[in-house]
Structure 1
Amino acid sequence: MSFGNVSVVLVHGAWADGSSWSKVINRLRDQGVNAIAAPLPLTSLSDDVTALDRALERIEGPVVLAGHAYAGAVIGSTRSRNIEALVYVAALAPDEGETVSDVFYRGETHPQAPQLTPDRHGLIWLPQEGFAQAFAQHAAPQELAVLTAVQRPISVSCISEAVGRPLWKDRPSWFLIAEQDRMINPGTQNFMAGRMNAHVRSYEADHTPIVTAPDAVTHVIVEAVQSVSAR
């Protein structure tokens, strides 16, 4: 199937890097969809949006922008003109004036969710046991080993900066709800998706379906790409 010149840009969340999207990238390629992963410094929300904008400058033609977890705030804060649709994967979608922290802590915390506290540098690391208990409890041991080894901390500045008018108010959006998420309350995901008027797709997935349920994630992204290419 031809998707024209529509490209997909994938944005990683906290405690991860672009390699977390590798399974999805390969599946999109198999379906003829060009995709790149945008690297974020995770030093502040503003820094991350600037980094995303630099990646988007490299893309010609319409873009479907997908973000996992924290990256939902980043993809909602860009103002790049070539974005035609947004895909939120178990992601955070703060509204205007809200912070990432506001929505992250909105719902009840799962009993197996890790305690998150910044170190003396203002960086938040995920405890090693948090990967198997809450971040990706459905992952294989080899996958958990990689996720743990490549984790990148997120700055407190990323979660404490209020967002402006989010792009999801002006673009169609899709939201993959991870029903077994132990990091972001699924009820909070439903709340955010509802106020976004997003196309909701719900799966029995953990917090990191880009690793543990890549077929489901790919399906939702391709649905958004098909919508853009059909215009």
Structure 2
Amino acid sequence: MNLKSLAFATVAALSSASIAHAATPNPAPKGVKNIVLVHGGFVDGSGWQKVYNRLKQDGYQVSIVQNPTTSLADDVAFTKRVIAQQDGPVVLVGHSYGGVVISEAGTDPKVERLVYIAAFAPDAGESVQSLIANPPPGASVPPILPPQDGFLFLDRSKFAASFAADVPADEAEFMAASQVPWGVEALAGKVSVPAWKAKPSWYLVATDDHMIPPPAQQMMAKRAGATVAETKGSHAIYVSKPEAVVRIIEQAAQGKK
């Protein structure tokens, strides 16, 4: 075989190998394969991208809810639509205010397990508003500005320090500039029957959180009987430490305590 023929043969072999590799599906994950991710206030679902990519690489079917964050009722309705689209049991994941949403929407029969990521986990009759009403002495107070036309924003100059202290500065600046208005009605939305009372839950505590004090996270996790993990990270831990978030989600999907 001359050099030209050898080159053609090598290229053909590499191309065939690439095609075969691309056609090979990810191995089916153990346990629950459908993951539904719910974002919190002031942000949208795009922040889940790194978590989404890692879960997809591991073979999970991942869906992201784009909540309007106008009211708890609206956000639960949006979440339930996504749950209804799944072809089997679901692990429902919520960050921050998204924990309120999954506590209410998680009673859906398709939802088998809940995962809270630095999130509120309210009991019956509780809301974000009631849970943040009396912060413990010395706790960080989120820089929430007075409502405008029924919606809330964080002070852009304080966004990084309070919400995303361990996120790269340019990314945190963009998050601050692209805030999603958070409805006062959503803040005040009360949970009726919290799903965590009937379904197993997991909770990731962000130990450097300046939005939800870590002791408050630990209290809610304990009250819910959740399997708890702790990771050093800001409130935006789902952006800054996606590997830790994926770890606890997959732990829940596999039913590991």
Query: Distance between the aligned counterparts of 1:50 and 1:166, measured in 2?
Result: 16
Residue aligning to 2:78: 51
Shift of 1:111: 4.3
Residue aligning to 1:118: 147
Residue 161 of structure 1 aligns to which amino acid in structure 2? G
Residue 81 of structure 2 aligns to which amino acid in structure 1? R
Query: Distance between the aligned counterparts of 1:89 and 1:49, measured in 2?
Result: 17
Of residues 24, 44, 54, the one that matches 1:17 is 44
**Relative to 1, partners in 2 of residues 1:159 and 1:111: Cα closer, same or farther, differing over 3 Å?**
closer
SS of the residue 1:76 aligns to: helix
- CA contact under 8 A between 1:92 and 1:104: conserved in structure 2? no
| Structure 2: gaps of 5 or more residues | 1-26
**Relative to 1, partners in 2 of residues 1:110 and 1:203: Cα closer, same or farther, differing over 3 Å?**
same
Q: Does 1:220 align with 2:241?
A: no
* Relative contact order higher in (CA < 8 Å, ≥ 6 apart): 1
SS of the residue 2:205 aligns to: strand
TM-score, scaled relative to structure 2: 0.84
- CA contact under 8 A between 1:112 and 1:133: conserved in structure 2? no
Query: Distance between the aligned counterparts of 2:170 and 2:110, measured in 1?
Result: 37
**Alignment RMSD:** 1.6
Query: Distance between the aligned counterparts of 2:159 and 2:87, measured in 1?
Result: 36
Q: Does 1:71 align with 2:98?
A: yes
Residue aligning to 1:102: 130
| 1:14-69 Cα deviation digits (max 9, x unpaired) | 01111010010011111111111101011111111011111111111011000000
| Structure 1: gaps of 5 or more residues | none
Residue aligning to 1:2: 28
Shift of 1:227: 1.4
Q: Percent identity, aligned pairs only?
A: 38
Q: What count of residue pairs does the alignment treat as equivalent?
A: 227
SS of the residue 2:109 aligns to: coil
Query: Distance between the aligned counterparts of 1:105 and 1:214, measured in 2?
Result: 30
- CA contact under 8 A between 2:89 and 2:112: conserved in structure 1? yes
Query: Distance between the aligned counterparts of 2:140 and 2:123, measured in 1?
Result: 27
SS of the residue 1:191 aligns to: helix
Shift of 1:107: 3.0
Query: Distance between the aligned counterparts of 2:190 and 2:42, measured in 1?
Result: 21
- CA contact under 8 A between 1:126 and 1:153: conserved in structure 2? no
Shift of 1:112: 6.5
TM-score, scaled relative to structure 1: 0.93
